[in-house]
Chains A and B, each alone.
Chain A
């Protein structure tokens, strides 16, 4: 005996609200960018079809290559410093007692400060004439000037980002660490494991998932960084700290080259997507070939 089923597609209407929302919030704005990226204009709101010309121009442009390399270098340095430093701080944080909340609040403080305020703080902090850092270094006889020296500008931006965002890595790792059941540490002591072995074989595998999130977030954020370098260095000295985002704004709003800027936005977006996919695939490749079927604390 079978139940007669009524076949129709009315259920699709239930998906409509989501489709409308996503359409308004993501797809339609993206399409306007796509629209600009394949057309040229000579004013008067008249547009001409140019195909993939803008994309070809951007992809071979030295200006784009340089900005891309600077951004990749910046993100690479940020990840290389903030991830290990964040893990180290998380490992050093207390696991119980009143000091836990003190540490957590202190850690969360930098995260609460708006981007442009962070930029302003460091812009002033680093000034040679009135800034505590700049003036202090100058009085020690160190020749430091982030507005003229490329290395100083980079050091200032990286220091600022480390100060601003390492906390995020710390908090994520800390949440992973405190969820490790105490018996793992007890078993490790019975097995005579060294501190390094405990980290390598218990703590690191257990925080791997939150670490992946930390890496992805820090990569995306640092790769898209705009406000802080714009406030501190404005992309200078010269073009030394002109990252992709700063370059893009200059092209779109400074020069009003909407076509190339739109093409560059799309390439920028695809690069972020690609790198995130690579990170995700590499870091989860070990999980894919298995499914946990045992008991025990996870």
Chain B
């Protein structure tokens, strides 16, 4: 059973109790997850290599069948449908073009396979060529093109189709030159605004994820650890991994103990915005380098180990009681000789066993 072709097809995507374990592998590549992604949204799956994001993408596209759980497009169970029946387009890490065909033939290929009328194919291919700015290369062999143009062709094979419900991107900018990455990403944004396809973008680059997506799904060791807007990920990381992974430099995660409404770090009591029940959990406090203040006398004395000038900021690396810290100081602000640090308590997050206290998950 194939899904019905709609004029402007797109789909919400639901993952229900989805988990996957490769045969012969002892551990789950993906731990059980519940996700609900809405129609026409731009989502990014962000995480380090090997966290399961490509596995998840291949399950959504149907290239891989999950060992547990269900995938739903617009409330229709597609778990057992093949890739061909799912009406999705996918752009891979390495550009895939059909070498022997011209650029125009490459774009026409998915339409010809679906038996679409000849004049309709010509019209749509011409549209796609114009949109991708490849008109003057239409009759060149696809393998002659540069990597970024090849990647446009991969995308174009999805854009020519009207039955596409979602476009999936698997680290599509990996082989693109840095100065073209911006350009291609901007074009992707434009295409998303124009077509409102549901787009899912896998990347390990936080800049790409944060600029592309409305919602970023951060994955770590086969699990979704946080779904949120770029701002949420920055201000209230739900997991210490998110804090360390997002931001440059990442959040400082400092081991601490709790005593009612105080966190104790390096012998110093820090007032929190709530009272914490003492448990056997491992507590840590997280604070962004942006929210630590340096002063000549107030706070804990810091042993400075390095200074890194990164343009408009200076990163101060140092340690307190054997724990490494990074502090971000605006350029031009004087750094005291023997600095002391104090934390902005409004921006302190407390973590119990890596999950944020108060998130409703870890406590």
**Chain A positions near chain B (C-beta within 8 angstroms):** 181, 183-184, 186-187, 189-194, 197, 201-202, 205-206, 286, 290-297
Contacts and interface: CB of A to CB of B under 8 A. Distances in A.
Contact of A191 (B99, B146, B157, B175): B157
Contacts of A294: 95, 97, 143-147, 149-150
B10 interface: no
22 contacts: A181-B94, A183-B92, A184-B96, A186-B61, A186-B83, A187-B157, A189-B84, A190-B61, A190-B110, A190-B157, A192-B113, A194-B113, A197-B109, A201-B100, A205-B98, A290-B143, A290-B144, A293-B145, A294-B150, A295-B94, A295-B150, A296-B175
Residue of B88, B89, B98 with most partner-chain A CB within 10 A: B98
Interface string B25-49: 0000000000000000000000000
A186 B113 contact: no
B114 interface: yes
Given A189-B63, A193-B113, A295-B147, 9 more contacts: A181-B94, A186-B63, A187-B92, A191-B113, A192-B84, A205-B100, A290-B141, A293-B146, A294-B150
Q: Is the interface of B mostly helix, strand, loop or mixed?
A: mixed
B109 A201 contact: yes
Contacts of B97: 294, 296
Nearest to B101: A201
B107 to A, nearest CB: 10
Contacts of A296: 94-97, 147, 150, 175
Contacts of A290: 141, 143-144
A97 to B, nearest CB: 11
Given A290-B141, A290-B143, A189 B83 contact: yes
Nearest to A185: B63
B165 interface: no
A292 to B, nearest CB: 5
A205 B92 CA distance: 20
Nearest to B147: A295
Contacts of B61: 186, 190
B106 to A, nearest CB: 9
B23 to A, nearest CB: 12
Nearest to A192: B113
B170 to A, nearest CB: 9
B226 interface: no
Contacts of A183: 92-94, 96
A113 B300 CA distance: 82
Nearest to A182: B63
A205 to B, nearest CB: 5
